[in-house]
């Protein structure tokens, strides 16, 4: 819940921080704003960093897609060897398929891809939980026995210890990585970055 609130808060902050200056300076992106506000050198440096990191990100995504193709290849042809060329052909295959369906389908392909991605992510979570419980000795009964009761498990951790003084409790909450507070701050910062300074996301929004 707090993570969702963080995404909403981030959009409000972006609206106040970026949209008004965009209208005032008559620009359409953060890079145009940087050119007007700080000069072309700052704009070029920010653009270069964006392009460099974007290429790295795309490279990682293509590699992961190629790695999945290699896993499928091993499953279909276990007797054939796997080498660097197998990964390269897997990356080329993913690139060609993605380019073709995006060029043919246009915005519909993008929308349907997002839907399929969301369904895959949700189904993967359910499938992973099922595999964990299925392969765990004792199954669901062992989980209930070790946890005491599913109703007593605190799925939403705040990280706040009411037994400690305020300062110590606040310090402990900041030190705990997996809490509602961490999700709130993390989601807010992430959406501010993607929707505020990322050229691709800011154009889509």
pLDDT of 201? 57
pLDDT at residue 88, as a whole number:
92
CA separation, residue 37 to residues 47, 61, 125 (Å): 15, 34, 45
pTM as predicted: 0.57
Tell me the pLDDT tens digit for each residue of 160-170.
777 888 888 88
Residue 156 has pLDDT above 70, yes or no: no
C-alpha neighbours within 13 Å on the C-beta side of residue 64:
6
Confidence class of residue 155 from pLDDT cuts 50, 70 and 90? low
Minimum mean pLDDT range among 54-63, 125-134, 153-162: 153-162
Least confident of 53-57, 150-154, 163-167, 174-178: 150-154
> Is it the case that residue 41 has pLDDT exceeding 90?
yes
Alpha carbon distance 125, 49 (integer Å): 34
User: Which pLDDT score is estimated for 147?
Assistant: 64
């Amino acid at each position: 819940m707090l993570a969702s609130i963080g995404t909403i808060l981030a959009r409000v902050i972006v609206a106040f921080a970026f949209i008004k200056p965009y209208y005032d300076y008559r620009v359409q992106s953060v890079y145009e704003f940087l050119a007007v506000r700080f000069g072309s050198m700052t704009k070029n440096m920010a653009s270069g960093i964006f392009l460099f990191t974007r290429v790295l990100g795309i490279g990682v995504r293509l590699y992961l897609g190629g790695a999945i193709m290699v896993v499928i290849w091993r499953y279909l042809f276990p007797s054939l060897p796997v080498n660097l060329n197998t990964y390269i052909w897997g990356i080329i295959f993913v690139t060609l398929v993605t380019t073709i369906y995006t060029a043919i389908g246009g915005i519909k392909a993008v929308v349907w891809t997002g839907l399929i991605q969301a369904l895959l992510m949700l189904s993967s979570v359910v499938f992973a939980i099922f595999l964990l419980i299925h392969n765990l000795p004792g199954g669901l009964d062992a989980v209930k026995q070790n946890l005491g009761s599913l109703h007593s498990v605190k799925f939403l951790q705040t990280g706040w210890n009411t037994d400690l003084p305020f300062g110590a409790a606040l310090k402990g909450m900041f030190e705990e990585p997996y809490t509602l507070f961490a999700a709130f701050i993390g989601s807010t910062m992430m959406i501010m970055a993607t929707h505020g300074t990322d050229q691709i996301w800011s154009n889509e929004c």
